[in-house]
Amino acid sequence: MSERKIGLVKWFNSAKGFGFIEVEGGKDVFVHFSEISATGYRSLDEGQRVEFTVVDGQKGPQAQNVVLA
């Protein structure tokens, strides 16, 4: 299992279902709504602190198993 990271939501477009998480000392990480571990409507707000695993996506690093930290 990969190491869990902590980051802040840089921006998230609820209408399109994706955004980016800012990781301290690292590259921004893409996040898709399907990877948010929540019930109901899955969305994130700018500035929220989140915990997640980074995996290699088709276009670069992608967040997986995203939860509020």
Domains of the chain by start residue, with CATH: 4-68 (2.40.50.140)
pLDDT at 24: 85
User: What is the reported pLDDT for 13?
Assistant: 98
Instruction: Report DSSP state, residue 36.
Output: B
Give the SS3 label for residue 10: strand
Q: Rounded to an integer, what distance in angstroms lies between the CA atom of residue 2 and that of residue 18? A: 22
The residue count of the chain comes to 69
11 φ, ψ to 5°? -165, 155
Span 13-49, pLDDT tens digits = 999 999 999 998 888 999 999 999 988 889 999 999 9
Cβ 23 vs Cβ 7: under 8 Å? yes
Residue 1, pLDDT > 60, answer no
